[in-house]
Structures are given as C-alpha cells and as structure tokens.
C-alpha cells in the first residue's frame, strides 16, 4: 500500500510539542522522520512525566513512527553526519531557541546551496524578524500574548486551555505549509523556506473574537464553558449531579427545546426569552428556569429528551470516558503502538482515507537508530563507535 509521503525523508531538530507534533503528522502519512536528539537525555519532553509505563505522556503522544538519532551537533563529527543527512533529505524542521539553527550553519540560505530541493521549516514563538524575534516563547506565554486568556475562563479569572493549543496550532500550520511546499517543489523542482510563528498561528485562531471586538467594540466576555453570545449554549447540571452540554443555534430549535425538552411551551414566547439577544441578556433567569426543570431529571433522561428533539448535546466527559468512548470503539479508531516500555494504545489520525492506512510504528528510545542511520551514510563500525563515545569536556 502506497502512502502519500512514502519516500520523503524529514530530518527534525525538535523538542517539546510544536515541531514533534508537526513531524508526527508527516510520519503518519508515510514520511521517514529522523529525530535528532541530545545524546543521553534526548528531547527534554521525554522527562515531562512518567505516566505511560514510566514514559512521558507528551512524548508518547507525538513521537511514534520516528527514528531517533542521538548527536551532539556541537561536535565536528556529529555535525558532519547531520550535514550528510541534509544533503539528500527532503525536509528539515526545527524549533530550537531563536537563532540557534542559523548559528549552527543550518539556515535555509546556507543549506540550499548544498541541496536546492530541501524544504526548511523554522518554528518559533514570534517569527524570524520583528522586535519580538529573540523573545523566548512557551505555549502559555503565547496563549497570553495572543489574547486567548482574555476571552477564556470565568468573569472572575482567566484560564489557559487545558492542552497546548499554541504549540498544536503552530505544529499544524507547519505541517500544512510543508505539504504545500512539497506540492510546489513537484512543479518547480526547488525547495523553499517556511517561517511559522506560534503567535501568528494563534492569531489566526483568534479571528472571531478579534472581529467581534472590531474597531474598539467590547470583546467577548469570559463565560466559562458557556457560549459568549448564544444562550442556552453550555453546561447544565441534572438532578443526579451529571452535567449535560447543550447548544441551541436558532429560533426553531428554541421553540422545540421549550416544547419537548423543558415541556414548557409558554417559555418560548416569554418576552425575556423570545430572541437570542434577549435570552443572552436574561441568561441568569433562564439558567435558573432550566436548572429547576433539569433538577427533576437524571443526566441520561435530559440527554434522551434532547436527542428525541434533535437538539445538539454532549456529555461532559473525563479522560476515562474518552478512553472508553463507544463511538471511537465502534469506528475501530484504536491501534497498539510499541514503545521502549511495551505496547500502548494510540488513536488513529483524524480522517479515514480509502486509499491508504496510516503509519502507526514504534516510539523510539534515545539514539535507537544511530548505528543503522550512520551505516546508511557510509560510516564504518569504528567511526560509529567513536562518535558514540563520551566527548571530553
């Protein structure tokens, strides 16, 4: 079976989340991803926690199907090996500290003279120029800088996202830009340089609240898990303590909701609630009314009424609920992936393609593929052994 990126080689100087998330997507599609790590400790995300059979949850999630090459690229022989790889590689991805790759002689301008077909993707917090170019950036800091925290949380306190949304956004834009660059290279025969910033990735995702606050208008308020401008849209507690998330989109659904779910048809025409704008203004009173009715029902009964009325809804799941989600089970979305500590379950990438299956190979140990990769480059066993000996300080 042929995958879309079979035959494509990606070399990655990566750590943490943004670049590894990008390159794992490329590996899913068949690319060979060679992950260059520090000898011994490797990617520092390996040490974030020990939740997966003694291994890091972040690392296990975004580093399957890769080969690990442990190189101290400050050493001349190690850097020579890296440049050998890049001479025939298709893509270089890096998210080192600002300016670090260029200081190592790994800028696009330097590399393209040796490999004109090479695509170089630099991922950084703020981009390769501008006044913030050299500023350090982490996911939470970019969430803050991009205004995400100003619209997320409760009226009393802002909250960050529970996952690394800025890293994921940057990683996904790096991934799609690389796919675009590969398509363009297929037409021109030449590589290109991609400069992805976390701030710009989050800026794109913040488009709705920015336009909502256009020309000095008030921004969306922080409303917890409720929608900032549509009501009722958010979490409601049932009588058994279970929480149901529901969302109404239009006036037709509002009438059905009152008739079939609340079983109080007169509420639909109440002057406080007969349009979304008025429901939004009077959400405190409407919330109390809904909660009073839901107090006599279990969460399951509320969901049954919502489903019968074709009103969008969801359970407020926890991680155990997601692991056991019946829809993921029914669609056969889980696979077993080897790791250095044994097999673990992993979700298939989103999207079912009739033409190919995704690659779902092992999560590597640090330097696991050194000997094989260096032998491919023509290194002798003695040279490989010498490279892997501890260097004098």
CA dist., res. 261 & res. 305, Å (int): 5
CA dist., res. 335 & res. 236, Å (int): 34
Q: Which residue reads 């949850």 in tokens?
A: 57
Q: Which residue reads 């997507």 in tokens?
A: 25
Q: Per the structure block, which two tokens stand in for 343?
A: 């097999």
Catalytic residues: 227
| Alpha helices, H only, the chain | 18-28, 57-62, 76-88, 100-103, 108-111, 139-145, 165-188, 198-205, 207-212, 251-256, 276-281, 283-294, 299-308, 319-323, 326-330, 370-376, 381-387
Contact residues for 110 (Cβ-Cβ < 8 A; gap 6+): 102
Q: Per the structure block, which two tokens stand in for 46?
A: 């390996």
Q: Check the CA dihedral 209-212-217-223 and report its sign.
A: negative
Pairing relationship of beta strands 344-347 and 334-337 according to DSSP bridges: antiparallel
Rounded to 5 degrees, what angle do the CA atoms 76, 78, 84 make?
A: 100
Q: Check the CA dihedral 67-101-103-44 and report its sign.
A: negative
Identify any residues that bridge with 337 across adjacent strands, giving them in sequence order. 344
Rounded to 5 degrees, what angle do the CA atoms 208, 148, 20 make?
A: 105
CA dist., res. 79 & res. 25, Å (int): 26
Strands (E), 84-166: 91-94, 119-124
Nearest to residue 229, comparing CAs of 244, 219, 242?
219
Q: Per the structure block, which two tokens stand in for 218?
A: 């008030």
Q: Please compute, for residue 86, the number of CA atoms within 13 A of its CA located in the half-sphere on the CB side.
A: 28
């Amino acid at each position: 079976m042929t995958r879309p990126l079979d035959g494509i080689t990606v070399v990655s100087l990566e750590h943490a989340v943004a670049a590894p998330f990008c390159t794992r997507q490329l590996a899913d599609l068949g690319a060979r991803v060679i992950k260059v790590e520090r000898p011994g400790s490797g990617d520092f995300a390996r040490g974030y926690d020990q939740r997966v059979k003694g291994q890091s949850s972040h690392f296990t999630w975004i580093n399957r199907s890769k080969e690990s090459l442990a190189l101290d690229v400050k050493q001349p022989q190690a850097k020579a090996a890296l440049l050998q790889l890049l001479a025939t590689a298709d893509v270089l991805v890096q998210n080192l500290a600002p300016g670090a790759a260029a200081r190592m002689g790994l800028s696009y301008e330097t590399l393209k003279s040796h490999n004109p077909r090479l695509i170089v993707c630099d991922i950084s917090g703020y981009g390769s120029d501008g006044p913030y170019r050299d500023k350090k950036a982490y996911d939470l800091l970019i969430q803050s800088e991009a205004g995400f925290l100003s619209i997320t949380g409760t009226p009393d306190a802002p909250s960050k996202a529970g996952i690394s949304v800025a890293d994921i956004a940057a990683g996904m834009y790096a991934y799609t830009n690389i796919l675009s660059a590969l398509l363009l290279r297929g037409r021109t025969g030449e590589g290109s340089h991609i400069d992805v910033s976390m701030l710009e990735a989050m800026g794109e995702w913040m488009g709705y609240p920015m336009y909502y606050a256009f020309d000095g208008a008030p921004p969306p308020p922080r409303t917890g898990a409720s929608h900032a401008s549509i009501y009722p849209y958010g979490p409601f507690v049932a009588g058994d303590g279970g929480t149901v998330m529901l969302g109404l989109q239009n006036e037709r659904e509002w009438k059905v909701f009152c008739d079939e779910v609340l079983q109080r048809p007169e509420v639909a025409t109440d002057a406080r609630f007969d349009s979304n704008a008025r429901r939004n203004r009077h959400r405190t009173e409407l919330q109390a009314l809904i909660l009073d009715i839901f107090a006599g029902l279990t969460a399951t009964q509320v969901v049954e009424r919502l489903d019968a009325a074709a009103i969008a809804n969801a359970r407020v799941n926890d991680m155990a609920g997601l692991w056991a989600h019946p829809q993921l089970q029914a669609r056969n979305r889980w696979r077993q992936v080897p790791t250095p500590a044994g097999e673990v379950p992993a979700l298939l990438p989103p999207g079912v393609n009739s033409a190919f299956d995704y690659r779902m190979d092992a999560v590597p140990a640090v330097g696991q593929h050194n000997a094989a990769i260096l032998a491919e480059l023509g290194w002798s066993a003695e040279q490989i052994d010498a490279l892997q000996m501890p260097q004098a300080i």
